Each structure stands twice: as structure tokens, then as C-alpha cells.
Amino acid sequence: MGLWIIRGFFFILCVLAGFYSLPDKKMLGVLIGCFGSFIVIGIEILIGKIPWKKLILAVGGLIVGLITAILLANFFLLIPLENERIENLIRFSFYFVFLYLGIMVGIKGFEELGFILPFLGGIKEGEKFLVVDTSILIDGRVYELMKSGFIDYTLIIPQFIIKELQGLADASSDIKRQRGRRGLEVLNKLREDNEIKVKVYNIDYNDVEAVDTKLVKLASQLNAAILTNDFNLTKVAEVQNIKVLNLNTLTNLMRPRLMSGEEISLKIIKEGKEAGQGVGYLEDGTMVVVENASKYIGKVVDIVIDSAIQTPTGRIIFAKLK
């Protein structure tokens, strides 16, 4: 509200200046004052919507473009043309083209330059980054994990991940819509919590189609780790020597360990892959394969833990009937 009061005073001053500047044509002066104030206020509002870091790079690009245009124009016009009008047209063309290119390259190159120049990207020395993928935001546990303080990283949310979540939220499938909306809700929750360090980067790689490849490329540029639930992404990143924190792996590691010889009760849900095997699940979702238990499907039986193995997708416990 305060800004609009200031803009209102500026508008009045512009109208008065136009009115008194042209005493013989006061109405024209008022119109010029109104029009001029609208243009200035519009430019001010537009500039206010551009991040100041991008604005700095845009001004830098403008200066570089201007210098480049002057040098090229002088080079091509070492021998002055007889027609001064054509010479001015050539110079104007160089200035127009390279000023535009300088500004656009400066703005579009903001993300990449921000990684190289820490003060532009808001990057502190020694800051550790964790690039987050879509599966983690949909999962939702990342909020509690960051809130607990166990992971001292700055979360990096690329714009192409937000775009993917928005695509899911607008999908025709109910399941996809729910997943997309949940991911966006978790993202907003992370960004609104001042205790959690989150950076959203407006970056994309138009030459790359796969989101996983984009994540790996960004992590490589930032020297960052990747936080994911995706087994395939984990393998792709590890091949390229990028550190990966897989939340499912952490969950498996934190599950209580059942020792060999320990006795528990378990409900047999279905048959196993091998003849006679029955399969049940612990409360945390761990699969338990019980020998000679297929005939007890739907019943609770007492079993003795025999052994356990860790697979890429989780932990499997083997047991036998008591």
C-alpha cells in the first residue's frame, strides 16, 4: 500500500510538471505527464519482478553487448561509406542486435554464472548441496528428515522438477494428480520453513529430455549429492561418481534387526516363489519367507528367524516354523 502512495505522489508531480511546463498547451502537458508517469511506474514495477541478481547480469550483458557492437561496427566501417545514412543504419543494427543479445545472454546465463560466482548465486563457501528429485517430494518424509537436523545440506529444487510435479498435478489420472499435489504441498512446506535451507533454481537443460539425466548433470555442475528414492537413478548417478542418498536405503538401515534364533509370530499372507514357502510381512514392511508354511496362508504362526539378506530393493528375512 505504501508503494502505491509513493507512486500516486509521483503521478501527481508528473501531471503538475507537464501542466506548468507547457503554459500555452496545458492539456497536452497534462497528457504528456500522465503518459510519462505511467511508463516510468510500469518500468519500475517490471524491474521489481526481476531478481536483483539477474538485473545485475542483465546490465553487465548490456554493457558487454554495447562494447561488442561498437568494436564490430568500427571494424566493419574502417573505410567510411559515402552514404552516411547507410552507415548510421549499419551502426544502429549492430547496437540493436548486440544490446539485445547481451541482455538475454546475461539473464539466461544467471543460473550457470551463479554456480561459478558465489555472490551471484547466493552460494556460501563450504556449503553442501543436495539435489532433490520428484520421488522424494512425493514421498514427503524429506520434511521430517530435514527438520530433525540429521542432514546438514542445502536442498536444491530445480525448476524442471517443479515442472514435472505440476504436470502430474494436472494429469487425467487421479493417482497421478494426488502424487503431484502431494509433492507440491511438501515443496511449499519446505520453502515456508525458515529453519530448512532450500534453494529453487530456475534452470533447465533443453538439450536433455530425461529428468534423471538432468538431475545427474546438475549435481555434477554443483558438486552436489542427490537425494532420491529411485533405484535406477541411484545406479546411474553412482556410475558417474555422484554421491547418492537413497531414503529407502536409510529406512532399511534404521529398521530393528531380528537376530538369528529369535522367535516371533507372523501372519502368512501368500505363497513364496519356492514350493512350500509362505510369505508374511513385518509391521515395517519387511518381507519374511517361511519354509513349509504355504499351508498356513491366512493364519498366524510362530516362527524362528534363520537368516536375512539385504537386496537393492530392501531386506528379506528367512525363517522356519517353530
Write the CB contacts of 2 (distance below 8 Å, at least 6 apart in sequence). Answer: none
Whether residue 147 sits in one domain with residue 57: no
Residue 283 maps to which CATH number?
2.40.50.140
Whether residue 222 sits in one domain with residue 134: yes
pLDDT tens, residue by residue, 237-260: 888 888 888 877 777 666 666 777
pLDDT tens, residue by residue, 86-116: 777 777 888 888 878 877 777 665 544 444 4
Integer CA distances (angstroms), 256 to 247, 252, 253, 285, in order: 16, 9, 8, 12
Count of structural domains within the chain: 3
Whether residue 243 sits in one domain with residue 204: yes
Q: Give the residue from 230, 252, 274 where a domain finishes.
A: 252
Specify if 122 maps to a domain. Answer: no
Specify if 78 maps to a domain. Answer: yes
Specify if 269 maps to a domain. Answer: yes
State residue 127's pLDDT score.
67
Task: Spell out the SS3 assignment of 98-119.
Answer: HHHHHHHHHHHCHHHHHHHCHH
**Which residues are registered as beta bridge partners of 228?**
246
Residue 240 maps to which CATH number?
3.40.50.1010
Q: Domain residues for 194?
A: 127-252
What's the predicted TM-score (pTM) here? 0.48
State residue 119's pLDDT score.
40
Sheet with 287-291, side-by-side order of all strands: 263-267, 300-311, 314-321, 287-291, 278-281, 270-271
Whether residue 156 sits in one domain with residue 94: no
Query: In Å, how far from its chain's centre is CA 203?
Result: 8
Specify if 148 maps to a domain. Answer: yes
Whether residue 102 sits in one domain with residue 18: yes
Whether residue 102 sits in one domain with residue 20: yes
Which triple of cell numbers denotes residue 285? 514392511
Whether residue 224 sits in one domain with residue 175: yes
**What are residue 202's phi and psi, to 5 degrees?**
-80, 75
| CB 225 within 8 Å of CB 245 | yes
State residue 49's pLDDT score.
64
Mean pLDDT split into 10-residue runs, the chain, 322 residues: 75 80 77 82 73 72 84 77 75 80 70 45 62 87 83 83 87 86 89 83 76 84 84 83 81 69 87 87 82 88 84 79 84
Whether residue 155 sits in one domain with residue 41: no
Specify if 160 maps to a domain. Answer: yes
C-alpha Rg value of the chain to the nearest Å: 31
Q: Give the residue from 252, 278, 307 where a domain finishes.
A: 252
Angle at which helices 84-108 and 52-76 cross, to 10°: 150
Specify if 203 maps to a domain. Answer: yes
Q: Give the residue from 114, 138, 167 where a domain finishes.
A: 114
Whether residue 105 sits in one domain with residue 21: yes
